[in-house]
A and B are shown apart, each in its own frame.
Chain A
Amino acid sequence: MTTRLPPVDGEWIDRKKSLGFRFEGGDFTGFAGDTPASALWAAGVRTLGRSFKYHRPRGLLSAANHDVNAMVQWGQKLNTRADVEALVDGMVLDAINTQGGVASDRLRILNSLGRFLPVGFYYKAFHRPKALAAFWERVFRRLTGLGRLDFSTPHIRTPKRYDYADVLVVGAGPSGLSAALAAARTGAQVVVVDENARIGGSLVYQRGGAAATLDRLRALEVELRAMPNVSLRPATLAAGWYTDHWVPLIDATRMTKLRARAVVVAGGVFEQPAVFRGNDVPGVMLASAAQRLVYRHAVKPMNTAVALVGNADGYRAVLDLLAAGVTVAAVVDLRPAGEPGPFGGAVRDHGVRVLAGHGVYEAVAEGDRLAAALVCPLDAAGNAVTGKVTRIPCDGLVMSVGWAPAAAMLYQAGTRMRFDPVTQQFVPERLGDGIFAAGRVNGVHDIEARFLDGTRAGLEAARHAGRTVEGPMPVVPAETVAPSHPWPFVSHPSGKDFVDFDEDLQTKDFANAVQEGFDNIELLKRYSTVGMGPSQGKHSNMNAIRILAKLRGMQPGEVGTTTARPFFHPVPLSHLAGRGFHPHRETPFHPRHVALGAKWMQAGIWLRPEYYEVAGESREACIRAEVRAVRSGVGLIDVGTLGKLELRGPDAAKFLERVYVGKFAGLKPGMTRYGVMVDESGVVIDDGVIARLSDEHFYFTTTTTGSATVYRELQRLNAEWNMEIGIVNATGAFAALNLAGPHSRAVLGRLTSVDLTHAAFPYLGLRETEVAGAPVRLMRVGFVGETGYEIHVPAEYALHVWDAIMEAGRAEGIRPFGVEAQRMLRLEKGHIIVGQDTDGLTTPDEAALEWAVKMDKPFFVGQRSLAILKKRGPRQKLVGFALEPGASVVPKECHLVIIDGAIKGRVTSIGFSEALGHHVGLALVAPDITAEGTALPIRVDNAYAAARVVPLPFYDPAGDRQKLPD
């Protein structure tokens, strides 16, 4: 049996394209332009899904993206909304949240157990007894749920698109299209989005049996499509509003991040259900849902209808039903006076029985579908007069009792809303900057007024976007009658009168929640879960507010609304997940490292060779061989990841003395000095080598990870101090190498004309010279504790210099070494790594760097804090420790020093020193256990490593090796 209507003017379906699909094992057909729900409804299927809690049969409610009880699983795509998803040939669909299929769901037993499942049931079950929480969780997870996740679903990459508009119009109904037209006529670039498959909004389906609205729509569409500055985007959801009009637009395939100068929200209203017993029986639907079925999909929603109305819109819907050939058995009007307007008269002219001052007491189901409505008069207080119940047989019941604004974006944009007693609706009171509301979301319901209001909003938005707007603004007449009934409830002692269809909440649940003390709208929401289902309260929040207002003797405006956060609708996670970008930097030597078999490690944003792999050798063996090469021959390491800053100007030395703890005014040009930087609280934040090229020109390094932040902070300090200096970040401009080892001087000597003798180029000296013909800054540094040179070369010469050095060192067996070997070499010398051997509280004193601090300066950052801290003495001290040769228990970094059950410190660095034949390390320990020879028991799992404090540095304490004679 099909209830497809003969062709309807403006229908969205294409009758030439028949589509086959499966639903719950049955075969069905529909047309292109159908949704699964409309095709199933046309085929006579009434149970489209099961409710979340009681597993009651549910049909079509809104046909407007809010039918969360008609959600289906389509293969890997779960939680597909059957009321809006476009029908596709070959779709295989199953209702979610059932056991044994939608028709004979075994869990429907829960419907009769309702009284054991009171409001707040989940919370209560989880609370007491606590031991049963895990049991209940398993039970609930089996009984409830939204779709089955298929973990084999492929990773889908969804690139984002970025877009721009002068005016973004959200909603393509009469007010939105008018706004777009008005804005576009000023020359503004206009983007119009609408979540529906086609534009038109209510012009498509709220026709009152006439063609006028459709004609208006067609005229508007022709005009808008002819304008090159208008982009009409149906099937696109504006998912939220973010600061400065940054709006994510969601379509079937991607998210577009659109920036607008102004936004017009013309998203209309959500039709609200009436609340009575059985208002969820399949066949009971919102009047607008019936109208959508008729005009979009040419489906006759029912054969015989009862219309429960509380506004003029309901009468218009009755005219639409009559036009579709539906027999309207009765119009049940909650209002004692009925409908005075023209739609009321037109309905009466059709000879339809109108029962004013009546309500629906119960919708009666037979075999899971609507069979009759029990109708009775209402007394002056709105209660059912149960002695006068009339049974009216029907297979459809439409509800038209009120509307709630689709105001989520307005709320997000900081709009203050007020409850308007005339329209019985929340309307904008004060809008945010550049955001405008138009049409029914703005409380304007009359159709002609909506065209005017849209034009007004469009012009205001265009003006805000900087367009010239001439002439007077349209004057929008005020509403005089309420399109929403203030109390669309008829109570029944047996309940099953649903307020929230997502969460199966009944009127009594609210009364109970309020009685238990959850009498604030935000508390009520969280306790009862009203509005927390997939439809996010779009058809439940307004009624919840009305209930709470009534229970507390307040007006809805005093109760207020809950916060409407983005996103407006659930969005597939695949739309949000983008590509994972993990940018890293490579030094100019990268290709050489690759050719040498480098094993990479991450150092801040950089990739650095951890070590160079030699075929057949273990990681440990490779690292030790690299260390050995440096100690006994010559090694080469890429240190280009260090931050490299240029500082020039008359105040350069003065500036350095203010940002480093040491002194630099007396540093001679051609010399370098180690520097430590502390923050305002005196904590070590960075270290490096400061080289003086001339009186007013310094070149200094920062740690690899600190370069960006140090550069930024130095810039900020100078913005504050306004000294005569300029700082340039030359980190990427220079490549840097460290050539170290007893043979380094000999190797370098073959490539440069500079006199490398000890007398001519002393330890810590600096020369601007050339190596292998390339201009370099050459520094004689300790670094790894051997004679060594740091070579800073403009990046474009980097590979040439590398190759020249490797060639020159061939006879000495030059070997490139990586970060691990460097770490071990430097550890042997007791050199600290800022951030590893120090933490967020370590002062120079504690890090054994007090020698670098010169307190006798007028000022440096952190000086005052260090002076205060000095009075208190150190909290901890960095000490060197050694293990016995052959120690079996070897700690790692962060293992704790524990004495008499108390934590006395922790290991910050450790490694095996081949030169010394045992492990050495650094530890931050309590000041009372720093004396040489003190035992440091370090707990490793269940054993203790026997370490003892030894003086630093471990290797070559006199530093002879870095000053080897010529």
Chain B
Amino acid sequence: MKLLCCPVNGLRPVSEFAYGGEVRAMPDPATCSDDQWADHVFNRSGIPGVKIEWWYHLPSGVWFHAERDVVADRVLRTWMPGEEAAP
């Protein structure tokens, strides 16, 4: 089973976590076109590579960001949103 490092709780088995999808910027709903909005709502990028994702530590209720190489399934680093990513 995979281990994941929660920025608050440290290294924990992945069964304690929930995946929250890729971190994506929402287009400005006031100015974007219907198509742009629909693309944001319904489409997700399946392109392999390094992605920044939302992860949630279930027992403690902590959301954090993880940079993950989705091809190798290797988490490169994790940090709290809004805080500078640790190298």
Contact = CB atoms under 8 A, between A and B. Distances in A.
Do A and B come together as binding partners? Answer: yes
Interface of A: 242-244, 246, 257, 414, 680-681, 711-712, 715-716, 719-720, 722, 729, 859, 863-865, 868
Contacts of B56: 712, 715-716
Contact of B29 (A712, A729, A859): A859
B3 A244 contact: yes
A681 B63 contact: no
Contact of B41 (A244, A414, A681, A712): A681
Given A719-B81, A722-B81, 6 more contacts: A242-B1, A246-B2, A712-B18, A716-B56, A719-B63, A864-B29
Q: Which of A243, A719, A720 has the most CB of B within 10 A?
A: A719
A868 B38 contact: yes
Contacts of A244: 1-3
Contact of A868 (B34, B54, B61, B63): B34
A865 B1 contact: no
A200 B2 CA distance: 32
B54 A716 contact: yes
Interface residues of B, number: 21
Given A681-B42, A868-B34, A712 B54 contact: no
A711 B18 CA distance: 13
A716 B63 contact: yes
Contacts of B37: 864-865, 868
A722 B81 CA distance: 9
Contacts of B3: 243-244
A859 B27 CA distance: 13
A715 B63 contact: yes
Contacts of B54: 716
6 contacts: A243-B1, A719-B81, A719-B82, A864-B29, A864-B37, A865-B37
A712 B1 contact: no
B41 A680 contact: yes
A715 B32 CA distance: 26
Contacts of A257: 1
A680 B20 CA distance: 14
B73 interface: yes
Interface of B: 1-3, 18, 20, 29, 32, 34, 37-38, 40-42, 54, 56, 61, 63, 72-73, 81-82
Contacts of B38: 868
B76 to A, nearest CB: 13
Contacts of B34: 868
- A-B pairs with the 5 shortest C-beta distances? A864-B29, A719-B63, A243-B2, A244-B3, A246-B1
A680 B73 CA distance: 28
B58 to A, nearest CB: 8
B1 A720 contact: no
A880 to B, nearest CB: 31
A242 B73 CA distance: 12
Nearest to A242: B1
Nearest to A708: B58
Contacts, number: 44
A729 B42 CA distance: 30
A243 B74 CA distance: 10
Contacts of B41: 680-681, 865
Nearest to B40: A680
A115 to B, nearest CB: 48
A455 B71 CA distance: 33
B61 A715 contact: yes
Nearest to A244: B3
B73 to A, nearest CB: 7
Contacts of B61: 711-712, 715, 729
A863 B29 CA distance: 8
Nearest to B4: A244
A864 B31 CA distance: 10
Contacts of A716: 20, 54, 56, 63
Q: Which of B3, B38, B41 has the most CB of A within 10 A?
A: B41
Q: Which of B32, B61, B73 has the most CB of A within 10 A?
A: B61
Contacts of A868: 34, 37-38
B77 to A, nearest CB: 15
B82 A243 contact: no
Contacts of B20: 716
A710 B71 CA distance: 31
A680 B21 CA distance: 14
Contacts of B42: 681
B7 to A, nearest CB: 12
Nearest to A246: B1
A924 to B, nearest CB: 22
Nearest to A713: B20
Contacts of A242: 1
Contacts of A864: 29, 32, 37
Given A712-B56, A859-B29, A864-B37, A720 B2 contact: no
Contacts of A729: 61
A898 to B, nearest CB: 31
Nearest to B82: A722
Contacts of A719: 63, 81-82
Contacts of A712: 18, 56, 61
A604 to B, nearest CB: 16
Contacts of A680: 40-41
A230 B43 CA distance: 52
Contacts of B32: 864
B13 to A, nearest CB: 8
Contacts of A863: 29
Q: Which of B3, B29, B38, B56 has the most CB of A within 10 A?
A: B29
A722 B82 CA distance: 8
A227 to B, nearest CB: 27
Contacts of A715: 56, 61, 63
A729 B72 CA distance: 36
A243 B29 contact: no
B63 A243 contact: no
A634 to B, nearest CB: 39
Nearest to B74: A433
A761 to B, nearest CB: 35
Contacts of B82: 719, 722
Nearest to B3: A244
A257 B13 CA distance: 12
Nearest to A257: B1
Q: Which of B1, B40, B72 has the most CB of A within 10 A?
A: B1
A706 to B, nearest CB: 15
Nearest to A865: B41
A729 B58 CA distance: 13
A257 B54 CA distance: 28
Nearest to B18: A712
A179 to B, nearest CB: 23
Nearest to B20: A716
A720 B56 CA distance: 13
A715 B57 CA distance: 12
Contacts of A859: 29
Contacts of A722: 81-82
Contacts of B73: 243
Nearest to A432: B72
B82 to A, nearest CB: 6
A715 B80 CA distance: 13
Nearest to A720: B81
A715 B64 CA distance: 11
A26 B73 CA distance: 56
B49 to A, nearest CB: 18
